[in-house]
């Protein structure tokens, strides 16, 4: 056993990882198939059934693994209801984090609350899954060799062939 401030960590934990989000320290403490999320006051915020801690991302969430599925979670919103096969990258726009995720070989976008913004139906993402045009964020997703440019509300703004989009990019 060892003490961290007023909190005693029992030897029953397999691993303990610390991380910082929004200038606050949090701890992920793994014990068998359970991970406790603990705040800087050493209060358990949530216990999550999961096999492993995959990563602490640069965003406001971290990724856990449960039965080969990946789980997004964070200390502020608790566990997200959706499980994903892969969680790729994220971008911020107007204080909202948008995350590119995959389930059953299909891609989509969720926000930092785990809400699906763009349905998981796309085959691939363009080289840069997001871009700013005139100061507005758009996502570039591919379905049936067509490129869909989609806004942050999930509305398709433009649909074109992937080859045409490459040509448009080369001109600029």
C-alpha distance across the termini of the chain, in Å: 61
Q: How far is CA 158 from the centre of its chain?
A: 25
pLDDT digits (tens, 9 = 90+) for 37-80: 888 888 888 888 888 777 655 556 667 777 777 776 666 555 55
For tokens 């919103």, name the residue.
77
- Res 22 pLDDT > 80: no
Task: Report the pLDDT value the prediction gives residue 55, as an integer from 0 to 100.
Answer: 64
Could you tell me the maximum CA-CA distance found in the chain, to the nearest angstrom?
63
For the residues 148-168, what does the mean pLDDT come to?
79
Q: Which is more confident, 10 or 112?
A: 112
Task: Report the pLDDT value the prediction gives residue 120, as an integer from 0 to 100.
Answer: 94
What's the pLDDT band for 85 if we cut at 50, 70, 90? confident
Q: Residues of the chain with pLDDT > 90: what percent? A: 16
Lowest mean pLDDT segment, chosen from 60-69, 108-117, 128-137 = 60-69
């Amino acid at each position: 056993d060892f003490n961290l401030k007023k909190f005693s960590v029992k030897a029953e934990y397999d691993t303990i990882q610390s991380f910082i989000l929004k200038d606050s320290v949090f701890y992920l403490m793994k014990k068998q198939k359970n991970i406790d999320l603990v705040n800087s006051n050493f209060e358990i915020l949530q216990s999550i059934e999961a096999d492993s801690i995959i990563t602490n991302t640069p965003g406001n969430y971290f990724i856990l693994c449960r039965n080969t599925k990946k789980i997004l979670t964070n200390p502020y919103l608790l566990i997200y209801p959706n499980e994903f096969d892969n969680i790729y990258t994220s971008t911020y726009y107007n204080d909202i984090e948008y995350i590119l995720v995959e389930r059953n070989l299909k891609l989509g976008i969720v926000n930092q609350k785990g809400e699906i913004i763009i349905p998981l139906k796309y085959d691939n993402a363009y080289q840069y899954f997001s871009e700013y045009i005139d100061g507005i964020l758009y996502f570039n997703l591919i379905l049936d060799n067509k490129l869909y440019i989609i806004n942050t509300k999930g509305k398709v703004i433009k649909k074109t062939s992937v080859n045409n989009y490459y040509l448009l990019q080369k001109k600029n």
